[in-house]
């Protein structure tokens, strides 16, 4: 029975093996056919490894979008990158995940270094870790700005190729289509979008939509000039195509902007790092100072050292944020601000929150309301008045709570140091040996027993402590002189501990800090306004370039020029928008109001030329000097940018080096000199 069963099994196995061999031969024969080889060849070029970076970043994007804290960053990155990677969801997700992953790795590295250096100081470590949130945000902005700068450099090549293609096809849309076929470049997606706009049924409406999502103003200008050329036709000016001349003007503007950004990046590339270094150098500097000059231990481990540490960290945070605002080139700020339903709006919608905010909100038509509203507009803030006051109230309350918490922590640090300080006289030039340190700590532990006994008792005196010591086993063999000396020492410690409580002066100081926190959003907007005023000349010169491109195009009038200026304006956007809205009621009067609302002389001259073009002379004659003095204006633009960068560099260096200077002077040199002089004075008094 068993032998027959084994025989049948062997027969079945043989048949199965033969079937497998036959199937293999048949499949192998089919695989040799040319069609199958062609399919394999095509698949080989499109298949992606399961563990490729592309797949990993796509999966990371999905993971990041689900994490509570990280998803805010991934969505912020997405809003900025989807403008560059227009209509390409795959690349937008990939780039978002790639940038966030790099930022997280760098932040993790900084966090690890911070923990290693400041692990013994929990309060400082906590503040540094909070500060790293700003650092990570800055790292991500820097990476996206780099992509934006790369896009700007690609545009130079794109426009250069457009010139050759336009000579070949003599049609704007065909030239753009041919140059936009390179899928590897980011600018190709923008070119394809502009081509789709030009061939659409309603190009004017589609162009207006594109203006809202264009990565930079130069692509807006190119799209607008291409549309006008397609609609009204091209013509020769000085034996040169007007369209190509306008493209050349845009190219020159981009070259100036790229040089400006490169110079600013070069000036500020190390200032941000320099401003952060003091935060990471506090604990190493403290350890070095205590190790070499032991008499400074009382300062660094006590309340004074902690106060200076916190002050330096807060100064570093303020300087770091100011540096970001100074350096910011405004590449795509408007695209990342959530103005639909931010957390401020949610707070104000709450009945209790609305009631509290309305108590501080100035009444409409009052002087304070008008002044604040003007500041919001001039500083280009996207906040509403109600949101601004939500920010002010939240910052004020947070500042007060943090201030009181820090004061309480300072008292705890002072009490802890009194209880842990080695009880002995310090030698200025050296520290204690191991045996001396053990004896000093034993004396400290003995004193702590009596401190526990009398802590909080404000009526206790030296005699009470002396009586307690006489009953203690620690002093049963001690002489009366030693007990008297120890009682005085413990009494002095007790007096110091009993004074370490939250006083009315600290509460008053917390209120002062709260007022400063309440005013901080206004001060930041005023600072931002000053920085924007430095950019006025650059914006006016950009207006001149726009007018230079438009003034020779047929059927272009003053109203079209104003619409273009409004589209590209930033600092002068509000008054130009009001002028455009009031233009139909009276062109001259609307321009006169625009002239009176601004006091910048170069912009006033542009408005006066527009007034002349409304009634008296053609636009070409009103702005004839722009064309004849083009080289002069270009040289002036470059010189103006150099002055602007020099001013920003000077302000940036002062702010960037401030934390470093304060750390060395306020945290190292000043305490060492003060304690040294105090110790010398005490020594001289003892000798006398």
In this predicted structure, the answer to whether residue 356 has a pLDDT above a threshold of 60 is yes
Pair of tokens at residue 570: 């930033």
Nearest 5°: the CA angle 437, 439, 442 is 110
pLDDT score for 533: 72
Task: Give the tens place of pLDDT for each residue, 279-302.
Answer: 777 878 888 887 777 777 778 777
Give just the sign of the alpha carbon dihedral 111, 114, 119, 124: negative
Q: What pLDDT shows up at residue 3?
A: 54
Minimal CA–CA distance to 323: which of 376, 367, 275?
Answer: 275
DSSP at 526: H
Strands (E), 210-351: 236-237, 240-241
Residues 312 and 279 sit within 8 Å (Cβ to Cβ): yes
- pLDDT above 60 (res 2): no
Q: What angle do the packed helices 70-84 and 122-169 form, to 10 degrees?
A: 20
State the pLDDT at residue 231.
83
Tell me the backbone φ, ψ of residue 214, rounded to 5 degrees. Answer: -65, 140
Instruction: Give the per-residue pLDDT at 424.
Output: 66
Question: With 60 as the cut, is the pLDDT of residue 451 above it?
Answer: yes
Mean pLDDT of 647-667: 86
Q: Give the pLDDT confidence score for residue 4 in this predicted structure.
A: 58
Residue entry with tokens 């589609």: 206
Of 615 and 163, the structure prediction assigns the larger pLDDT to: 163
Q: How far apart are CA 353 and CA 340, in angstroms?
A: 19
User: Tokens 């790369």 appear where?
Assistant: 150
- Distance CA(156)–CA(560), nearest Å, equals 27
pLDDT tier at 336 (50, 70, 90 boundaries)?
Answer: very low
Q: Select, from the ranges 336-350, 393-407, 417-431, 519-533, the one with the highest average predicted confidence (pLDDT).
A: 393-407
**Torsion angle (degrees, nearest 10) of CA 418, 424, 428, 430:** -110
Q: Is 486 exposed, middle or buried (0-12, 13-18, 19+ CB in 10 A)?
A: buried
- Tokens representing 549? 């491109």
Q: Band of the pLDDT at 333, cuts 50, 70, 90?
A: very low
CA end-to-end distance (rounded Å), the chain: 120
Higher pLDDT, 335 or 94: 94
Q: 622 or 476, which is more confident?
A: 622
Q: Is the pLDDT of residue 241 over 60?
A: yes
Q: Do residues 612 and 622 lie in contact, with contact meaning Cβ atoms separated by under 8 Å? A: yes
For the segment 486-506, the average pLDDT, to the nearest whole number, is 80
CB 388 within 8 A of CB 349: no
Q: Is the dihedral of CA 633, 637, 639, 644 positive or negative?
A: positive
Q: Higher model confidence: residue 570 or residue 50?
A: 570
Q: Which two tokens stand for residue 227?
A: 């549309």
Q: What local confidence, expressed as pLDDT, does residue 147 receive? A: 84
Mean pLDDT of 47-60: 69
Percent of the chain, pLDDT > 90? 1
Residue 301 in 3-state DSSP? coil
Q: Write down the pLDDT at residue 335.
A: 41
Is the pLDDT reported for residue 49 higher than 80? no
Q: Which residue has the higher pLDDT, 633 or 361?
A: 361
The span from the CA of 319 to the CA of 272, in Å, is: 9
Position 329 confidence tier, pLDDT thresholds 50, 70, 90: very low
For residue range 566-589, what is the model confidence (pLDDT) as tens digits? 888 878 888 888 888 888 888 888
CA distance 307 to 310: 5
For residue 431, the model assigns a pLDDT of 55
Q: How far is CA 267 from CA 317, 645, 652, 657, in A?
A: 20, 8, 9, 13
**What is the average per-residue pLDDT within 72-92?**
80
pLDDT band for position 26 (cuts 50, 70, 90) = low
Tokens of 338: 């959530």
pLDDT at 627: 66
Cα distance between residue 526 and residue 57, in whole Å:
41
Contact 472, 478 (CB under 8 A): no
Residue 434 confidence class, pLDDT cut points 50, 70, 90: low
Contacts of 26 by beta carbon, 8 Å cutoff, 6+ apart: none
338 or 668: whose pLDDT is higher? 668
Strand partners, 236: 241
**Quick check: 681 pLDDT over 60?**
yes
Does 457 have pLDDT greater than 60?
yes
Both tokens of residue 608? Answer: 């006066």
From CA 577, how far away is CA 412, in angstroms rounded? Answer: 58
The counts of H helices and E strands in the chain are 32, 2
Tell me: pLDDT of 623 over 60: yes
**Quick check: 305 and 124 in contact, CB under 8 A?**
no
- Which conformational region is residue 239 in: left (phi greater than 0), alpha (psi within -120 to 50 degrees), or beta? left
Render 348-382 in DSSP notation, one character per residue. Answer: HHSHHHHHHHHHHSPPTTSHHHHHHHHHHHHTT--
pTM, full prediction = 0.70
Could you tell me which residues come within 8 angstroms of residue 671 by beta carbon, excluding any fewer than 6 positions away? Answer: 296, 299, 300, 304, 305, 308
Q: Give Cβ neighbours of residue 651 (< 8 Å, ≥ 6 apart).
A: 326
Q: How far is CA 335 from the centre of its chain?
A: 14
Q: Measured between alpha carbons, how far is 104 from 107 in angstroms, rounded to an integer? A: 5
At 237 the three-state DSSP class reads strand
pLDDT over 60 (residue 536): yes
Across all residues in the chain, what is the average pLDDT?
Answer: 78
Give ∠ CA 536-275-148 in degrees, rounded to 5: 50
For the record, the structure tokens of 247 come out as 């493209």
In the predicted structure, residue 633 carries a pLDDT above the cut 80: no
Distance CA 555, CA 553 (A): 7
Band (683; pLDDT cuts 50, 70, 90): low
């Amino acid at each position: 029975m068993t032998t027959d069963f084994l025989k049948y099994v062997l027969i079945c196995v043989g048949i199965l093996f033969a079937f497998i061999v036959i199937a293999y031969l048949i499949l192998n024969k089919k695989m040799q056919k040319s069609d199958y080889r062609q399919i394999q060849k095509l698949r080989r070029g499109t298949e992606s490894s399961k563990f490729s970076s592309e797949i990993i970043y796509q999966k990371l994007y999905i993971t990041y979008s689900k994490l509570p804290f990280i998803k805010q960053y991934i969505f912020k990155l997405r809003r900025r990158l989807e403008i560059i990677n227009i209509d390409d969801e795959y690349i937008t997700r990939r780039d978002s995940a790639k940038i966030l992953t790099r930022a997280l790795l760098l932040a993790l590295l900084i966090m690890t270094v911070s923990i290693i250096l400041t692990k013994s100081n929990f309060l400082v470590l906590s503040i540094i870790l909070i500060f790293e949130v700003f650092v990570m945000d800055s790292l991500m902005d820097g990476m996206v700005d780099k992509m934006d700068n790369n896009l700007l450099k690609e545009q130079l090549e794109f426009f250069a190729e457009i010139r050759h293609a336009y000579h070949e096809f003599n049609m704007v849309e065909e030239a753009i289509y041919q140059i936009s076929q390179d899928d590897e470049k980011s600018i190709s997606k923008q070119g394809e979008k502009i081509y789709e706009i030009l061939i659409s049924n309603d190009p004017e409406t589609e162009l207006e939509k594109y203006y809202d999502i264009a990565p930079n103003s130069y692509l807006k200008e190119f799209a607008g000039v291409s549309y006008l050329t397609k609609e009204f036709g091209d013509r020769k000016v000085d034996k040169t195509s007007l369209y190509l001349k306008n493209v050349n003007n845009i190219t020159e503007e981009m070259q100036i902007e790229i040089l400006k950004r490169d110079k600013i990046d070069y000036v500020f590339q190390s200032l941000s790092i320099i401003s952060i270094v003091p935060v990471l150098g506090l604990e190493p500097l403290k350890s070095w100072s205590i190790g070499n000059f032991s008499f400074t231990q009382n300062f660094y481990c006590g309340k004074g050292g902690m106060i200076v540490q916190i002050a330096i960290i807060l100064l570093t945070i303020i300087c770091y944020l100011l540096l970001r605002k100074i350096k910011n080139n405004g590449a795509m700020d408007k695209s990342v601000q959530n103005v639909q339903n931010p957390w401020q709006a949610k707070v104000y919608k709450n009945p209790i929150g609305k009631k509290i905010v309305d108590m501080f909100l100035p009444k409409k038509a009052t002087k304070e309301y008008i002044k604040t509203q003007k500041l919001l507009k001039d500083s280009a803030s996207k906040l509403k008045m109600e949101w601004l006051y939500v920010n002010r109230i939240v910052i004020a309350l947070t500042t007060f709570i943090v201030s009181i918490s820090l004061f309480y922590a300072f008292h705890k640090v002072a009490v802890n140091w009194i209880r842990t300080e080695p009880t002995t006289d310090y030698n200025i030039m050296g520290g204690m040996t191991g045996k001396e340190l053990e004896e000093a700590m034993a004396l400290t532990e003995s004193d702590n027993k009596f401190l526990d006994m009398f802590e909080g008792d404000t009526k206790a005196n030296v005699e009470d402590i002396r009586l307690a010591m006489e009953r203690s086993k620690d002093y049963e063999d001690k002489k009366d002189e030693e007990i008297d000396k120890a009682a005085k020492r413990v009494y002095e410690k007790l007096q110091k501990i009993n004074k370490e409580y939250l006083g009315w002066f600290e509460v008053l100081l917390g209120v002062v800090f709260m007022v400063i926190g309440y005013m901080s959003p206004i001060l930041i907007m005023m600072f931002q306004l000053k920085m924007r005023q430095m950019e006025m000349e650059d914006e006016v010169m950009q207006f001149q370039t726009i007018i230079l491109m438009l003034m020779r195009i047929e059927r272009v009038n003053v109203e079209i020029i104003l619409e273009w200026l409004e589209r590209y304006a930033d600092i002068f956007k509000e008054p130009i928008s009001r002028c455009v809205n009031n233009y139909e009621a009276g062109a001259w009067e609307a321009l006169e109001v625009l002239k009176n609302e601004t006091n910048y002389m170069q912009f006033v001259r542009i408005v006066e030329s527009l007034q002349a073009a409304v009634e008296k002379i053609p636009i070409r004659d009103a702005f004839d000097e722009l064309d004849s003095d083009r080289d002069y204006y270009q040289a002036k633009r470059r010189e103006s940018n150099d002055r602007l960068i020099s001013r920003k560099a000077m302000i940036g260096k002062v702010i960037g080096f401030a934390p470093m200077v304060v750390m060395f002077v306020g945290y190292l040199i000043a305490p060492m000199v003060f304690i040294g002089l105090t110790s010398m004075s005490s020594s001289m008094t003892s000798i006398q």
